[in-house]
Structure 1
Amino acid sequence: MALQPLTAKQLAQKILSNKEVFILDIRKEEDFNDWAIEGENVRSLNVPYKQLENDPSSVKEQLPKDQTIYVVCAKGISSQKGVEMLEEAGVTDVTYVEGGMTAWSEHLEPMKIGDLSGGGELYQFLRLGKGCLSYMVISNGEAAVVDAVRMTDTYKNFADEKGVSIQYVLDTHLHADHISGGKTLADQTEADYYFPPKDDEGLTFNYNKLEDGTEITVGDTAKISAFYSPGHTIGSTSFIVDNQYLLTGDILFLDSIGRPDLAGKADDWVDDLRKTLYERYQLLSQDLTVLPAHFGAMKEVNQNGTVQAKLAELYEHNDRLNVEDDEEFRHLVTDGLPPQPNSHEEIRQINMGQKDPDQEEKREMEVGPNRCAV
């Protein structure tokens, strides 16, 4: 009897709970090398579909005998045929990942970060397939969402589960690696939308100005304070939540720092980046817990399934925060950067409201890993 397909949510929960997972990825080799399902206990074998079709028996010999095989393709269609071919070759413990890499890219897994001093809660939403992180602050029946991605139903459904209404939506900066759901979510929930005006390069919609010192109070108790922190973009803004947490956007990650070149202004913004990381953040309480908007590798995900670390720990262990020479730092963040995110210029235009392609086009634009880090 055929196994049920594995949903993206089930896959995420297996990976976050460190269960062993074996993936047979039947996409082209270059697609697999560019972007694949990762995890501490994930093993992958890449056999392109044509190769599997030509000789499923030889593929069978490369598969483990003692665990379920999860076949993945781009959209979950070819993988179903792949399962049939493997079953005909005698593989019994095999199924496919429903929706393929598209579904994997779009899945968000909410994880609790902690309780707030006034009785509220803070949640992190992990987009494991893309490395994006977004947040929800909950207090006294209200919620604020930070750096929402385009799958806005996830936030609305989660708010419904928690019995709260989304009153505020905030973006730390103009995103270039993924399509923001911020303005859409605000419109859908009639929430107040906040955005840093220095990143307004032609936004076509209205917003509340997010400036240094702007304060938002969720449910009368949970305070979110805006902290101007340019460098990834000229408007990049961090948030201090409940005097416990520092939401850094794309300025500071656990193992790296934000790149300043996605608007083509690396030489202009590198000094801002250094000043934010080496001066502005140094003045903050080093006991703040850093919560970034991205992670680059699964090793940054803690045992409890969250991405977080104390600011003091990052100044001790993140080598990008320990470059003493100004010129060396400038070269580090402007020379030899990784490739820019797929379709980043078009994504910026979408996030400004200048373009509105259909859902399928948006999915295609977001294929691949995030590349926001130096």
Structure 2
Amino acid sequence: MTVNIMTAKDVAKKVINKEELFILDVRNEDAFDEWKIEGDNFKHFNIPYFELLDGVEEIIGKIPSNKDVLVACAKEGSSEMIADMLSEEGLTVSYLQGGMKAWSEHLEPIKVGDLTDGGEIYQFVRIGKGCLSYMVISDGEAAIIDATRMTDIYLEFAESKAVKITNVFDTHLHADHISGGREIAEKTNATYWLPPKDATEVTFDYAALEGGNVVTIGNTAIDIYALYSPGHTSGSTSFVIDEKFLLSGDILFIDSIGRPDLAGMADDWVGDLRESLYTRYKELSEELVVLPAHFMIISELNDDGTVAVKLGALFAENHGLNIKDENEFRKLVTENLPPQPNAYQEIRETNMGKIRPEEEKQREMEIGPNRCAVR
């Protein structure tokens, strides 16, 4: 039997289309429990590959014959070996090309909507990590917001759309993933914007992103006025684009709200977080489509794969926006925090320009789920 190869893009399509997939994950149990490939109709079976070195006969009965079967491991080698063994037993299976490393790094660009001037906005969905980044295109120009370190996909996408990247933004200093914003700006001679309150320790030049800025991309103004929105970090800044879209950074998610503790400031910043969400955001139009910088669970994806919900719906349904008692809110935000992201302090220092880890080290630093939200 032939062993098939499934790419991260193939798996992403299955997630978005809600297809069935049976995943035999041969990583160690602790790695599997920490983070796995998730889809609405995915089933999992975890057994470490070293338990299968003498043969796969004992698990044959647990592998379905009527579903697509994917063998996954950390970097590819172990899954390819186990897939070969299963194939020799007569099963049709695929292995994940590049392993979970490739899954963590895959970005799926999806159009979110049109702008009134004929421009477009795209969401780059990093399904394996939960990160969301954006490209705004208007009249031959492009802006990128909250880029990941996989910079080539943004550059290639801009080239495919025949647009010039003129501005690159980070809504805040990220702690769960390494930003590609500065690198993209250097490669394209674009302006790199960062909130100055998050940039007190950075080692590079940047344009100060502050409330009141209006940056024009082609014909489209990115209006930042009155949307300084601290709470996740002291500099967190939101964007209203074309009076249609609200890029909320890590302040507001579809199913949760941002955590204020990744710089060790939970008690200090919880008041800012409440004011941003309960006062500043309340003054905005409920018709704005919220586009966050992360999603937490796969069910937050819409049918087209985007993560986008109107602000009014979130005020109605998101528990974090409906806690009237201030003390109860403070308790929720400071006592219901998931573990810190993997290597978050090193990631912050990388995003400040203080350290420059090798590429393989950067991959290791980012492995695992995002943990930017209050539970």
Would the TM-score normalized by the shorter structure come out above 0.5?
yes
Answer yes or no: is 1:225 the counterpart of 2:246. no
> 1: CA distance between counterparts of 2:23 and 2:186?
39
Contact 1:248 1:293 in 2 (8 A): yes
Instruction: State the match for 2:258 in structure 1.
Output: 258
Aligned residues between the structures: 372
Instruction: State the match for 1:248 in structure 2.
Output: 248
1:343 Cα shift?
0.2
1:62-86 CA distance string (max 9 Å, x none): 0111122110000111111111121
Aligned-partner residue type, residue 224 of structure 1: I
Instruction: State the match for 1:111 in structure 2.
Output: 110
Indicate the SS of the match to 2:248: strand
1:145 Cα shift?
0.2
| Matching of residues 30-109 of structure 1 within 5 Å | 30-91=30-91, 93-109=92-108
1:10 Cα shift?
1.3
Indicate the SS of the match to 1:247: strand
Cα distance, 1:4–1:87 mapped onto 2, change above 3 Å: closer
> 1: CA distance between counterparts of 2:342 and 2:259?
15
1:27-54 CA distance string (max 9 Å, x none): 0111101000001121111111122224
Instruction: State the match for 1:190 in structure 2.
Output: 189
Contact 1:230 1:237 in 2 (8 A): yes
Instruction: State the match for 2:208 in structure 1.
Output: 209
Identity of aligned residues (%): 56
Query: Structure 2-normalised TM-score?
Result: 0.98
Aligned-partner residue type, residue 31 of structure 1: A
Taking only aligned residues, the RMSD between alpha carbons, in angstroms, comes to 0.9
Contact 1:8 1:98 in 2 (8 A): yes
Instruction: State the match for 2:134 in structure 1.
Output: 135
Instruction: State the match for 1:297 in structure 2.
Output: 297
1:55 Cα shift?
4.1
| Matching of residues 297-316 of structure 1 within 5 Å | 297-316=297-316
1:76-129 CA distance string (max 9 Å, x none): 1111111112123332x1120100000000000000000000100000000000
1:238-289 CA distance string (max 9 Å, x none): 0000000000000000000000000000111000000001000000111100
Contact 1:53 1:85 in 2 (8 A): no
Instruction: State the match for 2:351 in structure 1.
Output: 351
Indicate the SS of the match to 2:313: helix
> 2: CA distance between counterparts of 1:311 and 1:357?
38
Contact 1:136 1:144 in 2 (8 A): yes
Where in structure 1 are there 5+ consecutive unaligned residues? Answer: none
> 1: CA distance between counterparts of 2:192 and 2:237?
14
> 1: CA distance between counterparts of 2:200 and 2:210?
16
> 2: CA distance between counterparts of 1:355 and 1:82?
38
> 1: CA distance between counterparts of 2:121 and 2:336?
37
> 1: CA distance between counterparts of 2:200 and 2:259?
19
Aligned-partner residue type, residue 170 of structure 1: F
1:350 Cα shift?
0.0
> 2: CA distance between counterparts of 1:26 and 1:208?
46
Aligned-partner residue type, residue 42 of structure 2: V
Where in structure 2 are there 5+ consecutive unaligned residues? Answer: none
Answer yes or no: is 1:120 the counterpart of 2:119. yes
Aligned-partner residue type, residue 204 of structure 1: T
Indicate the SS of the match to 1:166: strand
| Matching of residues 2-13 of structure 1 within 5 Å | 2-13=2-13
**Which is worse superposed, 327-336 or 115-124?**
327-336
Contact 2:3 2:84 in 1 (8 A): no
Query: Structure 1-normalised TM-score?
Result: 0.98
Contact 1:172 1:195 in 2 (8 A): yes
Aligned-partner residue type, residue 271 of structure 2: D
Query: Which aligned segments of 4 or more residues in structure 1 are displaced greater than 6 angstroms?
Result: none
1:126-157 CA distance string (max 9 Å, x none): 00000000000001110000000000000001
